[in-house]
Amino acid sequence: MSDAGAPTWRLPPRWVLLVAVLSIVAAEVGGGAMARFKVELTRWARDGMLARPGVHGLVGVRDVDERILDEALVKFDAGLRLFHMHAEGMGLVIIATSMVAATVIQRAAARRAIIALLTVGGAGYPVGYLAWSALIPAYGLERSKAIAEWLVWVPFGTATIVALWGLVGCVAWTMLARRRA
Amino acid sequence: MLALGETAGAAMSRLKPEIERYAAGRVAANPGAHGFSGSAEYDDEVRERAVFTAEAGLSFFHLHGEGVGLVLFFASSLVAAVVPGRRARAALYALLTFGGLFPIGYVVYGAAVLELGRDAGVELAERWILAPLGLAAIAGLVGLAFALARPRV
């Protein structure tokens, strides 16, 4: 920083940066694969759904079934898109917020805990969208969403939110302590 | 802003029925603002459009909260690193921080749509919140671009 006496940014541990970059790489690969293999992915999902008509409520009437299949395929595609978007975004969020935590939080235990939660939560959360998409053909829309929600989105999302508000508290505390000193 | 954006995303997902119910309730409480005609079919369509717009406001808040938070973080780091002169830095920090509040405009957007009607609510949020805050962010980023483009001595 240019201000005299102001601290410079501290880097978080190397593994945190690696996880963040891997998340961005996975997002890029996911985005590329979505575009390149759109037809193959759609065919795979459609075949999976047709193989389990009971799960998806298919009745054997073309007009009805096509509507159900279309809706499920839109959700399947949305899950892949949301994975792409969230993995890119959360990779950047991990880098930015873990730098703030590494720079601002003085207590080692608190710093380690918040950085770990930010990294694990941030990298894990987008995987839920991938899991949701992958599970739709086998489990149907609602069940796959519930599985992704309780196994991935709730735990990893909660970790991120708790860590971010903890970081907000630490930054505010540091500002107050500096003003008092 | 990142924390608010994350929390809004979680709320959107976990509290979707409650948010929809609240939004529909607010629309019903302001029939004049939404131009209800008394025809159930027409009024239902108006209600659905208003609730959808309010939900879109929350969704934009989630998206922009995360994105603008990151832009603010990286841009202000660049200002600290490359802009000479305390006053110039302070001005750019102020513009970027003011611009960093831009996503709040979408919360106002969602709430105003429910209270004032779709068109009036969107107009209010765009004119009085989103435009000034967005212009501040743009001015801050343009100032940073000028600082980066200046030849170094």
What is the pLDDT of chain B when averaged over all its residues?
A: 93
Low-confidence winner among A122-126, B72-76, B94-98 (lowest mean pLDDT): B72-76
Q: Cβ of B10 and A2 within 8 Å? A: no
pLDDT band per the 50, 70, 90 thresholds, residue B108: very high
Measure the CA–CA gap between A50 and A54, rounded to whole angstroms. 9
Low-confidence winner among A133-137, B32-36, B124-128 (lowest mean pLDDT): B32-36
SS3 A10: coil
pLDDT score, position A5 = 53
The tokens of A132 are what? Answer: 């949701």
CA distance B36 to chain A (A): 32
For the cut 70, the answer to whether the pLDDT of residue B109 exceeds it is: yes
Tell me the mean pLDDT in the region B94-119: 95
Chain A CB contacts of B73 below 8 Å: 96, 100
Q: What is the pLDDT of residues A27-56, one digit of tens each?
A: 999 999 998 999 999 999 999 999 999 999
- Best of B1, B2, B13 to substitute, by most chain A Cβ atoms within 10 angstroms, is B2
For the cut 90, the answer to whether the pLDDT of residue B4 exceeds it is: yes
Q: Cβ of A161 and B86 within 8 Å? A: no
Alpha helix stretches (DSSP H) within A59-126: 62-104, 108-124
> Do the Cβ atoms of B121 and B23 come closer than 8 Å?
no
CA distance B80 to chain A (A): 5
* Chain centroid offset of residue B84 CA: 31
Q: Cβ of B73 and A157 within 8 Å? A: no
Q: What is the pLDDT of residues B133-149, one digit of tens each?
A: 999 999 999 999 999 99
Chain B CB contacts of A157 below 8 Å: 6, 9-10
> CA–CA distance from B40 to each of A77, A82, B26, B32 (Å)?
35, 36, 17, 15
For the cut 70, the answer to whether the pLDDT of residue B121 exceeds it is: yes
Q: Could you tell me the residue ranges of all domains in chain B? A: 2-149
| Percent of the residues in chain A that have a pLDDT greater than 70, as a whole number | 96
> Do the Cβ atoms of A65 and A55 come closer than 8 Å?
no
For the cut 70, the answer to whether the pLDDT of residue B114 exceeds it is: yes
CA distance B118 to chain A (A): 27
Half-sphere exposure of B85 (CA within 13 A, CB side): 7
Low-confidence winner among A71-75, A95-99, B82-86 (lowest mean pLDDT): B82-86
Q: Which amino acid is at B106?
A: Y
Measure the CA–CA gap between B107 and A21, rounded to whole angstroms. 31
Tell me which DSSP letter residue A3 carries: S
> Do the Cβ atoms of A129 and A86 come closer than 8 Å?
yes
Measure the CA–CA gap between B110 and B118, rounded to whole angstroms. 9
Chain A CB contacts of B86 below 8 Å: 3
The tokens of A161 are what? Answer: 């939110």
Residues of A with CB under 8 A from a CB of B: 1-3, 6, 9, 89, 92-93, 96-97, 100, 149, 153, 157-158, 160-161, 164-165, 167-168
Q: Could you tell me the residue ranges of all domains in chain A? A: 14-180
What is the pLDDT of chain A when averaged over all its residues?
A: 93
Measure the CA–CA gap between B64 and B8, rounded to whole angstroms. 11
Chain A CB contacts of B97 below 8 Å: none
Tell me the mean pLDDT in the region B117-129: 94
pLDDT score, position B150 = 82
